[in-house]
Structure 1
């Protein structure tokens, strides 16, 4: 499974699976995207996890899917499926649809297994990081992590949602160097993760007027940024 957001070890139980369509769309003429929502309940019945697979829908464009995801990207896992291209021959088309349905059902079964594995891990003492979205700074911190770990359309949707939070800080907290924070998002590797974290810590220190701590964090930030190939 090609996760664009989310991961096998920590599924949310709420999956959006989509694919690009080339040629005829069997759900709706002209639709460039087929998408489906799969929900796995952790309210298991014995060893069985109830699953709801909503009927696939056709969307007119990638932008339409992006708009839907942007509003609630933190709720979903996102998986891109192989491109859909209907054969011209009718008999081949029927066979192709059957094969795609089998592939989709197999993907759903794998996703359920990931959810089962997560629940078993938690039952044996494993802990999962909890996300909170109550405060703008906390939202920015979580979205920045999501942005760096996502790919494809999920990354784009996360960026759009994060841009709104960035606009909030630029308008309400101009003392924070948000522009430099945005540049830090492109810094590669583990150092980039640390750099983004340091910016969030610095913003928090400034908000609580811990200017000595903010100054120390700034020195650490500059030390990492000096390692950039563009520095």
Structure 2
């Protein structure tokens, strides 16, 4: 049977931010030739809990979340346990070289010049696994960009933008979609002296590649469980 793709974004009160998840899901589903549904952890309908309970199986759930954290370790597994359906849950999208490649494109589009130091700014978390993910994402961006990259966070553990940004730096939001954290990142980065603030990663073609890759990796396990 052809599995169904279910994506799980965090959700935001900013409508344009929620459209990123829908665009990524539609593009990945077209590539895969699978039916697909977009869902959200909170703040936007349909919620993942509702979708999981109603989704025909077999299905794969690809989180559109950039780091490991409470949602991936607690919330989403609990939803699937309650739904009691043959839905295989994937891991966070990041860290990954494809995300770093998308960030490089966003930096260039914003006017950042090669060799300029970059600050990667993430939403942040208190989860140790998330902190390790962000450190890895910082190293991947440094390799892809070819210049030093430092990490800042907007919440949780880690230094804040005013502590990290130096005048003339470029800032790369490690955020999939616009919303509260994106607005805060841009405001704080410019206030700290950044000369360039790139856009969020968004529905970049490399992110579509990554969603397709994660879905295909989950498909064999779902097929085996449904046999």
TM-score normalised over the length of structure 1:
0.28
The structure with the greater share of residues assigned to helix is 1
Higher relative contact order (CA 8 A, sep 6+): 2
Select the structure of larger CA radius of gyration. 1
